[in-house]
């Protein structure tokens, strides 16, 4: 049989280095700590033979300092292993440290307790990111349920039969779903959650598939970000315009085309919706229906803008003015 592996002190150091842990020894009578060089680097301190606990704890985040001091004092009464997580400040940098050891004086040698420090900043940041994402998703779900409830109530009053209500409501909810599939929270510093051109293309894709050929839509707009709230408004407006075009405008013809372009006007972005190749259009005589009211309400309240219609003989032209500030929300 092969000889059993003989562990050497240098093997312990290699394992400690590989694990990224820092060693400490705490004299409970003098209140001094001895740390290896990794420990001093972790705390952002110049190496020295010893450091007193008070000096070390001065680097702890003020919100955690009293808790950590109390935790270290209590470790001598704790039976078994313990772990305490806390933040330290290195200039403007915040690091998360986990202190681990044995309580109730287990393993104490010459009034000295032993343990390790581990940098757990990455894990804590991931946990905070998960909590933020969970809160964001909860907020979105609540918003969508509120919008769906409102759309259902209004559709029930305006529809002539349950089939019409189901069809209209399903279309509007599907448009919202496509918008929210695209609009996702991004890491800090990367701007808004979606690009306007991408959002318009996603929302219009189902209608493009209903024509005689693909590519009859052209979306050429400024590269600008769209926030979650604005995406909801854009989705409702685009869905209503596209639905009306399918019924009465250019999209009702297999070869009809749609062009969406933009231009900048101070603090606003102006979108122009141009339909061509459809039947002659006539300005409606009747008051605005539910769809038209929904569009105006979405544009005014959610997008901070206005909408105007030009019932041109060649095809409908819609001018949509949107506040840049509102678009980013």
* pLDDT 10s digits, 95-119: 998 988 876 665 566 678 888 899 9
Measured CA to CA, the distance from residue 145 to residue 201 in angstroms comes to 25
Of 172 and 256, more confident:
256
Choose the final residue of a domain: 63, 97, 119.
119
Secondary structure letter of residue 302 according to DSSP: I
The pLDDT-based confidence of 270 (bands split at 50, 70, 90) is very high
The verdict on 80 and 170 lying in the same domain is no
On whether residue 212 sits in a domain, the answer given is yes
The verdict on 135 and 68 lying in the same domain is no
- Domain that residue 92 falls in: 9-119
The pLDDT-based confidence of 241 (bands split at 50, 70, 90) is confident
Measured CA to CA, the distance from residue 203 to residue 11 in angstroms comes to 61
CATH number at residue 204: 3.30.565.10
The verdict on 24 and 91 lying in the same domain is yes
Instruction: Return all residues near 245 (Cβ < 8 A) that are at least 6 apart.
Output: 207, 251, 252, 256, 258, 275, 278, 316
| Mean local confidence (pLDDT), 188-201 | 68
Q: What is the pTM (predicted TM-score) of this model? A: 0.47
The verdict on 304 and 208 lying in the same domain is yes
Choose the final residue of a domain: 119, 151, 180.
119
The verdict on 277 and 230 lying in the same domain is yes
Choose the final residue of a domain: 119, 136, 166.
119
The verdict on 235 and 300 lying in the same domain is yes
Number of domains into which the chain is organized = 2
On whether residue 2 sits in a domain, the answer given is no
The verdict on 212 and 259 lying in the same domain is yes
- For residue 19, what is the enclosing H or E element? helix 9-19
Measured CA to CA, the distance from residue 269 to residue 261 in angstroms comes to 10
Instruction: Return all residues near 290 (Cβ < 8 A) that are at least 6 apart.
Output: 154, 155, 157, 158
């Amino acid at each position: 049989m092969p000889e059993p592996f003989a562990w050497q002190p240098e093997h312990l150091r290699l394992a400690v280095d590989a694990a990224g842990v820092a060693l400490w020894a705490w004299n409970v009578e003098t209140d001094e700590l001895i740390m290896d060089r990794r420990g001093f680097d972790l705390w952002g301190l110049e190496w020295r033979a010893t450091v007193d606990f008070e000096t070390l704890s001065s680097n702890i985040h003020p919100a955690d300092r009293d808790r950590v001091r109390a935790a270290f004092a209590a470790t001598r009464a704790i039976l078994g292993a313990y772990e305490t997580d806390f933040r330290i400040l290195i200039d403007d940098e915040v690091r998360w440290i986990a202190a681990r050891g044995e309580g109730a004086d287990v393993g104490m040698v010459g009034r000295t307790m032993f343990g390790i420090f581990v940098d757990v900043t990455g894990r804590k940041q991931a946990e905070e990111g998960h909590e933020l994402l969970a809160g964001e998703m909860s907020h979105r779900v609540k918003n969508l349920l509120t919008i769906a409830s409102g759309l259902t109530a209004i559709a029930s009053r305006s529809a002539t039969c349950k089939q019409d209500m189901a069809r209209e409501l399903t279309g509007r909810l599907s448009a919202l779903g496509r918008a929210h599939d695209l609009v996702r929270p991004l890491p800090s510093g990367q701007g808004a959650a979606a690009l306007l051109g991408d959002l318009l293309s996603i929302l219009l894709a189902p209608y493009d598939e209903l024509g005689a050929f693909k590519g009859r839509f052209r979306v050429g707009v400024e590269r600008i970000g769209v926030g979650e709230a604005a995406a909801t408004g854009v989705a409702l407006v685009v869905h209503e315009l596209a639905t009306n075009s399918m019924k009465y405008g250019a999209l009702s013809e297999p070869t009809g085309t749609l062009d969406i372009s933009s231009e900048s006007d101070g603090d606003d972005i102006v979108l122009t919706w141009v339909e061509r190749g459809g039947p002659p259009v006539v300005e409606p005589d009747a008051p605005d229906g539910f769809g038209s009211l929904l569009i105006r309400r979405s544009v005014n309240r959610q997008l901070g803008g206005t909408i105007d219609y030009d019932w041109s003989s060649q095809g409908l032209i819609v001018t949509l003015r949107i506040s840049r500030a509102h678009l980013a929300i």
